[in-house]
Amino acid sequence: MTDDAIVVKDLTKKFGNFTAVDHINFSVKKGELFGFLGPNGAGKSTTDFMLTTILPPTSGTAIINGFDIITDSEKVRKSIGIVFQDQTLDNRLTAYDNLDIHGRLYGMSSGDRKQKIKEVLQLVELADWEQKLVKTFSGGMRRRLEIARGLMHQPQILFLDEPTLGLDAQTRRHMWKYIEKLREQRITIVLSTHYLEEADALCDRIAIIDRGKIVALDTPQKLKSLIGGQVLSLKTSDSKKMLSILEKQKIGSHGRILDRAVLVEVQNGSTLIAKVVSLAEKSGVVIENIELHTPSLEDVFLKLTGEQIRDERPGPNEFQRRMNHGH
């Protein structure tokens, strides 16, 4: 038996001429908390949909718990749990009934259902709410109940697609605690997110996905070490000029401009600051702000894709893209 819960082989999805997922390859070990990190429109949901047999691939395939998503889709479905973005709880029913219906759908016996409902509600700290109507629940409680439901039939893999989307920052962090707790269940988790901090805080390994391609895959620590040293960030009166000064003087590497800041990777940042300030002064560039930080996943993402992940809903371009592709 292999140690892999998931093996993905050249998985590809096209919508018309548009390639949403482009020949991706990776594997996930049993018990791993594996992250998919990418901006809106990167192809995370489309990948999740294929791995959970909701959408057929255009080419390539994946083996989930030993079953092929194309030839053994029924067995794949039975062995996985899904918590996707669209909320599918019945608001008119109690937490208990929502879970009970799910258990019936999966053919669980009455005894098993009763026992499992108690267990999963306890896990997400909703035991006291068992008999309450879901319509009285807050957004965070609903999300927790959805996770509980995803666990009802004891899946070996749980897919969480943007589990904290739309929650406020505090509730989001609270949710992380529950996701962390799932590790104790020895379950494999595939977490898709566009929140850098979330991926960093939770995942054993992260695949960074951009425009349908995996551009890097490693532990958060190793990903961050792709950036040697520190990142020096300079807000000045003239970003282009500042960048060209740094390049001419060979200060740091991988210089780029983001919004109005010049970012450059440096080895010995604190000793460089004085030099940078004096160079700027000589050239008549006014420095408004200067900052030195250890690399974050945001820096890594920017380095690999040339873009920034924003904690926002899709911007106008993304809406345009979606409309063009009939989404």
Closest approach of ligand ADP to the CB of residue 326, in Å: 5
Is residue 313 involved in binding ligand ADP (CB under 6 A)? Answer: no
Angle between helices 110-123 and 95-105 (to 10 degrees): 130
Is residue 309 involved in binding ligand ADP (CB under 6 A)? Answer: no
Closest approach of ligand ADP to the CB of residue 254, in Å: 25
Closest approach of ligand ADP to the CB of residue 161, in Å: 7
Closest approach of ligand ADP to the CB of residue 69, in Å: 16
Region of 69-77, 166-174, 229-237, 318-326 interacting with ligand ADP (CB under 6 A): 318-326
* Residue 197 DSSP SS3: helix
Using the rule CB under 6 A, which residue among 177, 240, 260, 327 binds ligand ADP?
Answer: 327
Strand 80-83 vs strand 67-68: parallel, antiparallel, or unpaired? Answer: unpaired
Closest approach of ligand ADP to the CB of residue 303, in Å: 20
Contact string (CB under 6 A) for ligand ADP, positions 30-69, x = contact: --------x-xxxxxxx-----------------------
Closest approach of ligand ADP to the CB of residue 320, in Å: 10
Q: Which is nearer to ligand ADP, 240 or 322 (CB)?
A: 322
Is residue 325 involved in binding ligand ADP (CB under 6 A)? Answer: yes
Residue 326 has phi, psi (to 5 degrees) of 65, 35
Q: Which is nearer to ligand ADP, 98 or 164 (CB)?
A: 164
Determine what percent of the chain falls in helix, strand and coil, rounding each to the nearest 5.
40, 30, 30
Q: Which is nearer to ligand ADP, 107 or 326 (CB)?
A: 326
> CB-based burial of residue 196 (10 Å sphere; 0-12 exposed, 13-18 middle, 19+ buried)?
buried
Angle between helices 139-151 and 95-105 (to 10 degrees): 30
H or E element: which one contains 11? strand 4-15
Q: Which is nearer to ligand ADP, 15 or 178 (CB)?
A: 15
**Which strands sit side by side in the sheet containing 18-29, from one edge to the other?**
18-29, 4-15, 59-64, 67-68
| Token reading at 325 | 């592709």
Cα distance between residue 323 and residue 14, in whole Å? 16
Is residue 20 involved in binding ligand ADP (CB under 6 A)? Answer: yes
Q: Which is nearer to ligand ADP, 209 or 264 (CB)?
A: 209
Closest approach of ligand ADP to the CB of residue 45, in Å: 3
Q: Which is nearer to ligand ADP, 15 or 176 (CB)?
A: 15
Is residue 326 involved in binding ligand ADP (CB under 6 A)? Answer: yes
Is residue 213 involved in binding ligand ADP (CB under 6 A)? Answer: no
Q: Are 52 and 70 in contact (CB under 8 A)?
A: no
Strands (E), 168-277: 188-193, 205-210, 213-218, 230-236, 253-258, 261-266
Closest approach of ligand ADP to the CB of residue 62, in Å: 15
H or E element: which one contains 105? helix 95-105
Closest approach of ligand ADP to the CB of residue 313, in Å: 11
Strand 230-236 vs strand 261-266: parallel, antiparallel, or unpaired? Answer: antiparallel
Is residue 113 involved in binding ligand ADP (CB under 6 A)? Answer: no
Q: Which is nearer to ligand ADP, 209 or 272 (CB)?
A: 209
Angle between helices 110-123 and 139-151 (to 10 degrees): 140
Question: What b-and-e string marks burial along 258-277, b requiring 16 or more CB atoms within 10 Å of the CB?
Answer: eeebbbbbbeebeebbeebe
Cα distance between residue 43 and residue 49, in whole Å? 10
Using the rule CB under 6 A, which residue among 7, 12, 15, 78 binds ligand ADP?
Answer: 15
Residues at the contact surface with ligand ADP, assessed by CB under 6 A: 15, 20, 38, 40-46, 321-322, 325-327
